Structure formats: C-alpha cells, structure tokens
Amino acid sequence: MTDLEAAIRQRTARVGVVGLGYVGLPLIRAFVAAGFRTLGFDVDQHKVDQLRAGRSYIKHIPAEWIQECLAGERFEPTADLRRLNEADCVLICVPTPLSDSRDPDLEYVEQTARAIAAALRPGQLIVLESTTYPGTTRDVVLPILAASGLQVGRDFFLAYSPEREDPGNPDYGASGIPKVVGGIEPMSARLAEVLYSQAVVRIVPVSSCEVAEACKILENTYRAVNIAMVNELKMLYDRMGIDVWEVIEAAKTKPFGFAAFYPGPGLGGHCIPIDPFYLSWVARKHGLSTRFIELAGEINAQMPQYVIERVVRELNERGKPLKGSRVCLLGVAYKKDVDDPRESPSFVLMDLLRQRGAVLSYNDPHVPKLPKMRHHDVPELASQELTPEFLAAQDCVLIATDHSAYDYDHVVRHAKLVIDTRNATKCVQDNRDRIVKT
Ligand SMILES: NC(=O)c1ccc[n+]([C@@H]2O[C@H](COP(=O)([O-])OP(=O)(O)OC[C@H]3O[C@@H](n4cnc5c(N)ncnc54)[C@H](O)[C@@H]3O)[C@@H](O)[C@H]2O)c1
C-alpha cells in the first residue's frame, strides 16, 4: 500500500477542492462528513471572503455548516493556488462552459491544471470532476501536469470522476450518489476509488478516464434528448387538445421501460443545455455528427418562442396586444427550488417579451434581484411581492419555474390570466378558466 493510500484510508490525507461552486462545496461537505480536513480553492476572492466570514452564497449550503467547519478546522477556503501542494488529493470542480461559437471552453480546466502543475509534488492524486468530452483528462490535463517533469502513475496520479450533483434534490446529496471512477492508469484508478469510497455511498469503477467522461455525457444527453421529445409531443398534443402532463402521468405507471421527463419553457442550468455540445464537438473531430443532440438542441431552443406565441394568442383573445401589456414572470432560476439562474430559459422569455414591448416584472423567492447574464441584456429589476393588488394589475402571469414556495391558489385567485409552462397549477381547483397550460 502506498503512503497516500494509507493516509486516505486513515482519513488523514488532506482533500483539496478547486472551484467552490454548486459542485465543489457539496463535495467538500461530503469529505468533511467523512472526517477529512479539506482545503477549498477559488479564484473568486469575493467567494473566499464570504466563506471565511462563515457566509454561504448557495441556498442549500447552510452558513451554520460553514461556521462549524471553520471553527473545527475541517475546511479552509483560500484564493492562494500556491497552496495546492498542501493537499494530498486535489479534486477539480471548475466550470466547463461553451464558447460563443458553442465549442467547448476548457479555459478554466486548463488554468487549474497549470496552477496544479506549478505546485505539483510527488504523491498527489488529481481528479477532474468537471463535465467534459471523452479524452479531456488524458489529452488536455495530463500533458499540462506532466510538463512539471513528474510522471503519472509513479510520482503523481490522475483520474476522472464525474460530478452528478443534483442541486435542490432533497433525496440525493453528494455522498449519496454513486460515483463513477476511471483512472489514467491502474494505480491512479485504485487511489481515486479508495478516496471516494471513504465519503460516497458506492463506487462504480470503470476501465478508463474516457469511459467515465463518456458516461457523464451519456447521462446528460439522455436527459436533453428526452426533454426535447416531450417538448415536441407537448406542441403536438396541445394542438390536439390533449394534456401532455396527464399523458405522462398515465405513461409512468408502466413499471418498466419508461422514465418520465417533463416539458417546460426551454432547457436551463449549467449542464443539460451545454454538455451534449461537448460531445457534438468531439464527434465532428471524428468525422461524425450527433444528430439526436443537434435535433434536441433545436427543439429545446425553440420552446421559449413557442411559449411567447401562446402568450400573444391568449392576450389577443382578451383583446390585448402584447405591446404595453403587463407580464409578470414567475421563476427565473433554471429549475424548481434552486437559486441558480444559469442558462435559465426565463432570460430568453424576458428578452422576447421586452422585444415585443411587454411591461415586464418578475418574482422569484430565491433570486431577489435579476443578475447580470453573459448572453442577455437583463433589465435592472427586483423581485415583486405577489400581493393581490399586484397580481390583479397584471395582464398575464407567466409561470416559468415551479418553485414549491408559490401559493398557486393565491396566484390564480388574483391574476386575470396565468400561462403555466410547468403544470404547476395542477392542484388549483377554482378559477381554472384563467389557467392556460403550455
Ligand atoms: N451545477 C450542477 O448541477 C452540476 C452538476 C453536475 C456537474 N456539474 C459540472 O461541474 C462543474 C462545475 O460546475 P458548478 O455548477 O459547480 O460551477 P460554479 O460556477 O458554481 O462553480 C465553479 C467555481 O470555480 C471557480 N473557478 C473558476 N476558475 C477557477 C480556477 N482556475 N481556479 C479555481 N477556481 C476557479 C469559480 O469562481 C466558481 O466559484 C462544471 O463542469 C459543471 O458542468 C455541475
């Protein structure tokens, strides 16, 4: 047994996590709960300062937990990447976005790999967790680390283990989700498996980093394609007067061979709208196209437009043009009960509404002020309180995210028209004639 393996098993190894965001912080939590001392790295000094002051910037990470960890010296946040050599195991959880031309943007992963290479010392285990295309760990990360002069499998160890975090899901936290692990070579795989098995419910070893990378992209592509399929069926069933949500509820009673996916106003979040395009990009390099991914992207991207057309039609029925109408959007987070607005279709809906002259307002209990977004010209708006008077003054209330905190009876009771893209009002009994599902 190597010294590193012994230290991991005794839980005296220090775990470093690079990228203290939606993935990195829950991961630290899992390792702290398993008894490890952790170091958290982030280039965003503001985030580090907040954590050091015992404050949380992610809704489902309690400030009390951060304060306890700081007091017990279980977690130390820092922006000083030179301290990467203090960690025995370094887990990389930095963003993997798309560039403006929708190609993989590995800038953050490369920067991190360079910072690790500058501090690399014999006996360290490095694991990439960021979602990416098959081949990234071997072709992008390894050469940067190997440029340090140290040799993988002998001096340091390198693996890939995809993060499967599902923010806002009360049933599965980082320690409860099985972890797929693939190494660059056998010793790297073994050490990564031993490390995660200390903190995570089950390890799923696979034969290489590439299999682990491909597994994550398969999971996300599966979701993107199935969501596109139900979105397409929604448009068809809408026209036929069939409620697609009722169809899905019935279909999911089949005990095998069917997993329920739900339509919505478009795709959101850091993963599902983005990751499949990592695979399309690598497919092009292999002379192949990924037609399912392209088609799913096309259908999902069309959904906000479809929703706005419905808003226009319903207002028109009520003798109102969209121009000058008051529209309040409910929910700007990309999914239920989270505070993460990244890639949320709500911003596309807002762009379309403003282009057509609607008087826009919004409410989101988890997003008090509209954040700046890279690809949208976001107005400076604060979340409006949903008082009876405010709701009654709107020409249309558009439900984009079905947060549990909403009192849908109250919304429908006071609003003139509710366009519901999530079937959020399914339990509302009264005034159903004001609800249009789309
Ligand atoms: N959010 C999710 O639900 C989720 C789920 C599964 C996988 N993932 C994947 O995990 C990765 C991270 O996603 P996230 O949602 O946690 O992102 P995030 O933006 O919440 O957090 C990433 C953090 O990394 C920091 N960072 C950027 N460059 C850095 C650098 N060079 N060194 C140190 N820190 C750096 C950023 O400041 C940020 O705080 C992505 O690849 C994403 O696709 C995300």
- Kindly tell me the burial class for residue 123, based on how many C-beta atoms sit within 10 Å of its own C-beta (0-12, 13-18, 19 or more): middle
Q: Ligand 1 pocket test: pick from 28, 29, 42, 98 the residue with the most ligand atoms within 8 Å of its Cβ.
A: 42
Q: How far apart are CA 302 and CA 313, in angstroms?
A: 17
Q: Whose CA is nearest to atom 28 of ligand 1?
A: 108
What is the Cα–Cα distance from 68 to 154, expressed in whole angstroms?
A: 37
Segments of the chain scoring below 50 in pLDDT:
none
256 CA distance to ligand 1 middle (Å) = 35
SS3 28: helix
* Identified catalytic residue from 69, 93, 209, 271: 271
- Pocket of ligand 1 from Cβ distances under 6 Å: 18-24, 41-44, 47, 93-96, 108, 111-112, 130-131, 163-165, 167, 270-271
* CA gap 321, 379 in Å, rounded: 22
- Ligand 1, residues 47, 48, 49, 94: which to mutate, most atoms within 8 A of Cβ? 94
Ligand 1 centroid distance, CA of 157 (Å): 22
Taking a C-beta distance cutoff of 8 angstroms, is the pair 48, 78 a contact? yes
- Strands 89-92 and 179-183, how do they pair? unpaired
161: exposed, middle or buried (C-beta count within 10 Å: 0-12, 13-18, 19+)? buried
CA of 225 to the centre of ligand 1 (A): 24
Q: What are the backbone angles phi and psi of residue 173, rounded to the nearest 5°?
A: -100, 180
Between the alpha carbon of residue 80 and those of residues 39, 85, 95, 116, 119, the distances in Å are 11, 11, 18, 11, 11
23 CA to middle of ligand 1, Å? 6
Q: What pLDDT shows up at residue 246?
A: 97
- Indicate which residue's Cα is closest to atom 36 of ligand 1: 19
- Residue to mutate (ligand 1; options 28, 90, 93, 267; most atoms within 8 A of CB): 93
Chain CA centroid to CA 79, Å: 23
Q: Which residues of 173-184 are buried (b: 16+ CB within 10 A; e: fewer)?
A: bbbebebbbbbb
- Which protein residue's CA is at the shortest distance from atom 20 of ligand 1? 21
pLDDT of residue 298: 94
In sequence order, the 6+-apart residues with CB closer than 8 A to the CB of 121 are 85, 150, 156
72 CB burial (10 A radius; 0-12, 13-18, 19+):
exposed
Q: Ligand 1 centroid vs 40 CA: distance in angstroms?
A: 13
Question: Tens digit of pLDDT for each residue in 343-385?
Answer: 899 999 999 999 999 999 999 999 999 999 888 889 999 999 9
CA of 270 to the centre of ligand 1 (A): 9
Round the CA-based radius of gyration of the chain to a whole number and report it.
24
State which H helix or E strand residue 196 sits in. helix 186-199
Strands 125-128 and 89-92: parallel
Active site residue 271: yes
- Which amino acid residue places its CA nearest to atom 41 of ligand 1? 130
Q: What is the pTM of this model?
A: 0.93
Give the pLDDT score at 350: 97
